[in-house]
């Protein structure tokens, strides 16, 4: 196992003015034994970055290193994929359909070990690690559920003790309940083996709940890399705020530690002065159903999820605001409510401001 360091990596497709930079000057460090998620919308370059790390593609500029060993970069002969000691878990698992579970898991082991007692013990160890019963070793892939197939794919990638494990949206094809339990089991397996892992996803909840570090990509560039709580509470710009969880972004005017906006006066996380864009999370917008304390508005829409609900409110000045509240008691469309902001609010310079 080792750390992963990506420095100034760029990859373009096409030539001349028509060239598209899928990955643009990306620098990222994944510490040894940690779990990092690369989060971004489709087409942002996250899968291309994964393929560069695996060695399926070569960077046009920059370098990639596992620990102290540079495997690709300027002036370095690239190490081929099969020699990088990387485990790779694709979206659909990609198990060999003609092999049983045991043979799939043992596939990455040295040929001499696959049929030996050592190989059989390793398969048993990997099944236990990914929380599958030992008798599953004799099953075919088509006898497994989607979540079980993904666990076997992870076991196969971990069996040879890789330097780094790369996961390419491995839970995207699973239903919601199966996705959560499978992702948690995978995270436990990686932590138990102290494996350095990098997962790419477009699912914000997945990225925040699984990772030690979240790296947000947009348009081929890395726009923020930080612990999940920092990315959520202190996003680098309003675009990251709106992508990583819902956000209410309102224009306002700041004076030191306070600012005024359509939702009244708010307290800032950092002092600012002048015109600002204020990022407010929906759960910070308190919906008062009983008192006329706050800014008045009319409920336009309620999306009920059971444990909570999202409430869209049109303020008297025409501003539309999203609030999130517990699902135990909530308003209905057409109700008059009053809103106020709780907690600290992050302020940004408006787009185009010097």
Q: Would you state the pLDDT for residue 1?
A: 62
Fold assignment, 4-242 = Rossmann fold (3.40.50)
Q: How far apart are CA 9 and CA 151, in angstroms?
A: 31
**Is the separation of the CB atoms in 57 and 83 below 8 Å?**
no
**Same fold flag, 4-242 and 246-348:** no
Domain boundaries, the chain: 4-242, 246-348
**Is the separation of the CB atoms in 313 and 339 below 8 Å?**
yes
Which residues does 177 contact at the CB level (< 8 Å), separation at least 6? Answer: none
Q: pTM for the full model?
A: 0.86
| DSSP E strands, the chain | 4-13, 20-30, 35-39, 61-66, 69-73, 86-89, 164-168, 196-201, 213-218, 221-226, 248-261, 264-280, 285-288, 295-304, 308-315, 320-326, 336-341, 344-348
Beta bridge partners of 321: 313
Q: What is the pLDDT along the chain (354 residues), one digit of tens a residue?
A: 689 999 999 999 988 777 899 999 999 999 999 999 999 998 899 999 999 999 999 999 999 999 999 999 878 899 999 899 898 888 776 888 998 999 898 887 887 777 788 888 888 888 888 888 888 989 999 898 888 888 888 888 888 888 898 988 888 877 777 788 888 888 888 888 888 999 999 999 889 999 999 999 999 999 999 999 999 999 999 999 999 988 999 999 999 999 999 999 999 999 999 999 999 999 999 999 988 889 999 999 999 998 899 999 999 999 999 999 998 888 999 999 999 999 999 999 876 555
Per CATH, the number for 246-348 is: 2.40.50.140
């Amino acid at each position: 196992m080792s750390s992963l360091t990506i420095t100034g990596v760029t990859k373009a497709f096409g030539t001349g003015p028509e060239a598209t930079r899928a990955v643009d000057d990306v620098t990222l460090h994944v510490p040894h034994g940690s779990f990092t998620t690369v989060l971004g919308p489709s087409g942002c370059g996250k899968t291309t970055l994964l393929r560069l790390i695996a060695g399926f593609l070569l960077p046009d500029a920059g370098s990639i290193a596992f620990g102290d060993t540079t495997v690709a970069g300027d002036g370095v002969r690239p190490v081929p994929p099969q020699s990088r000691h990387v485990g790779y878990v694709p979206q659909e698992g990609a198990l060999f359909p003609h092999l049983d579970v045991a043979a799939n898991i043992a596939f990455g082991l040295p040929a001499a070990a696959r049929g030996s007692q050592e190989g059989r013990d390793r398969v048993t160890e990997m099944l236990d690690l990914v929380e599958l019963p030992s008798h599953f070793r004799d099953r075919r892939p088509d006898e497994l559920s989607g979540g079980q197939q993904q666990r076997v794919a992870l076991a196969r990638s971990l069996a040879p003790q890789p330097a780094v494990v790369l996961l390419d949206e491995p839970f995207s094809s699973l239903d919601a309940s199966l996705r959560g339990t499978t992702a948690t089991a995978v995270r436990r397996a990686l932590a138990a083996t102290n494996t350095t892992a990098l997962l790419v996803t477009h699912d914000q909840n997945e990225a925040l709940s699984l990772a030690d570090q979240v790296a947000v990509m947009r348009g081929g560039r890395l726009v923020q890399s930080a612990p999940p709580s920092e990315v959520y509470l202190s996003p680098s710009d309003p675009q990251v705020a709106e992508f990583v969880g819902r956000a209410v972004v309102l224009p306002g005017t700041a004076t030191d530690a306070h600012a005024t906006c359509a939702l009244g006066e708010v307290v800032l996380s950092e002092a600012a002065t002048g015109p600002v864009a204020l990022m407010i999370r929906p759960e910070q917008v308190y919906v008062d159903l009983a008192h006329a304390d706050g800014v008045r508005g009319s409920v336009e829409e309620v999306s009920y999820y059971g444990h909570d609900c999202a409430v869209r409110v049109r303020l008297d000045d025409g501003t539309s605001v999203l609030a999130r509240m517990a699902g135990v008691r909530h308003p209905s469309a057409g109700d008059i409510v009053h809103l106020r902001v709780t907690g600290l609010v992050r302020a940004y310079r408006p787009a185009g401001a010097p």
